[in-house]
Amino acid sequence: MRSEFKFAAIFAVAIALAAGNSFAQTAAEMKSEHTVSFEPVLGLTYVEGRVNGSRPLHMVLDTGASDTVLKPEIAAELGLKHSGETVQAAGQGKGADETMRLVKGVTLEFAGQKLTDQTIATLSVDYIDREAGQPTDGLLGGNIFVNFVVHEDYAGHTVTLIRPEKFVAPKGFTAVPLTVAGTASLLQLHLVGLGGEKIDGLFLLDSGQVGSVFFMSSFVDAHPGLKSGRLIALPPVTAVGGDMQVSVGRLASIGVGPFVVAGPPALYPSNSPGGLASTPIAGIVGAQVLGRFDVIFDYPHGMLWLKPNAEFGKPFFTNASGLQLEVEPPEFHRVKVRAVIAGSPAEQAGVMAGDIVVAMSNTPLEDAATAGSPQLTLAEISEWLRETERDVYLRIERAGRLLVLHFKTKQLV
């Protein structure tokens, strides 16, 4: 994981267990290996892909998406027609439309490679735009991972696609077995709670989830020691399927193969959510854990190859301000307070949901009547707020008035 702040919300699209996700795996015009750069945004991996020779699309590379997913408006722009078939996305949230409409016979291009005769899906993922602060055209999912060995260098911000028959395990990497079922991959983790309870569990591998570990409530109910220590209730967060209520706490450690990741935060839902409620998995492991490694997703051979990077061993940080921020597309530089965590420094300072962030500093701001503008992205603001014991002077707009509020950040769990 990079050293910047990780926004305490779930952006995951965990639809890997949805039904009807078969597709042709015909690959054409493939090189043996090709590398591209990616843009890291709050733990998400943004890359450029093309559909049927389209303009470059701004997409999240996501192991948690069973198929490649486009927003319905992007599919309409590209003239893509639904096949008439639908499946239900198995996401964490509840209450929103989970219907994925399938589009067949599509050509995908990414990282110098081309896949023909693919099935993709359309699904609204507008919440990613709002909470990542980035225009997002869709998700590159299982089509990529089942056809290639995917080397994601989180620290170097590069992705390499390798033809499976040409893959040779690089020196310095350790192989950890994956259970690959269709386009989903499951990883065995060794968990230790703060009270010392030890338990193993099978977790969905989801690089599109910003957090470290998200538990199914049934698994935690069976192993209550995993909830030892302080828990903080978060305002409702959004994922595929709608909103859900979760709390954040910590584990003593997570074991991934021979590697032990100390002190990761964990998310606990109030009940097992949405379309994943009936699955046998213990939970979902996301980008906060994966980002501490140089990772090779080797679905074709049933392996995850890991090599610790410079972030391995560094402390995990949770929300240190209490602010949960979002934008209102298409105004991506207008950052709004979506919610404030109860009892947090921001709430105690008087910040309220709906406030607009106008400027911020670690030194006293000028008179509130001087508007100014932070000219920062949502990600930059969130990253700046990750540090503990930081003085924050926040200029906000509320109901047409400008206010300056002050607080000092601290870790909540």
3-state class of 39 per DSSP? strand
Domain ranges of the chain: 1-315, 323-408
Q: Write out the H or E segment, with its range, that includes residue 332.
A: strand 331-340
Q: Pick the more confident residue, 95 or 216.
A: 216
* C-alpha atoms less than 13 angstroms from C-alpha of 101 in its C-beta half-sphere: 15
pLDDT at 12 over 60: no
User: And the tokens for 232?
Assistant: 């903080």
pLDDT at 191 over 70: yes
Q: Which CATH architecture does the domain made up of 323-408 adopt? A: Roll (2.30)
The per-residue pLDDT of the chain, averaged, comes to: 86
Q: What's the whole-number mean pLDDT along residues 181-193?
A: 94
pLDDT at 97: 55
pLDDT at 31 over 70: no
Return d(Cα 231, Cα 57) in angstroms, integer: 39
Q: Which positions ≥6 away from 163 have C-beta within 8 Å?
A: 27, 30, 31, 32, 33, 148, 149
pLDDT band, residue 9 (cuts 50/70/90) = very low
Return d(Cα 180, Cα 176) in angstroms, integer: 12
pLDDT band, residue 374 (cuts 50/70/90) = low
pLDDT at 18: 40
Q: What's the whole-number mean pLDDT along residues 365-371?
A: 59
pLDDT at 367: 58
Name which CATH class applies to 1-315.
mainly beta
pLDDT at 1: 27
Number of Cβ within 10 Å of residue 106's Cβ equals 22
Q: Which positions ≥6 away from 351 have C-beta within 8 Å?
A: 322, 323, 337, 340, 394, 396, 405, 407
pLDDT at 274 over 70: no
pLDDT at 4 over 50: no
Return d(Cα 128, Cα 74) in angstroms, integer: 15
Q: pLDDT tens digit string along 81-114? A: 998 888 877 654 443 457 889 999 999 999 999 9
How would you classify the pairing of strands 69-70 and 113-122?
parallel
Q: What's the whole-number mean pLDDT along residues 345-360?
A: 95
| φ, ψ at 324 (rounded to 5°) | -115, 120
Q: Which of 131-140, 190-199, 233-242, 296-305 has the lowest mean pLDDT?
A: 233-242
pLDDT band, residue 7 (cuts 50/70/90) = very low
pLDDT band, residue 386 (cuts 50/70/90) = confident
Number of Cβ within 10 Å of residue 5's Cβ equals 22
Q: pLDDT tens digit string along 316-343? A: 988 899 999 999 999 998 999 999 999 9
pLDDT at 391 over 70: yes
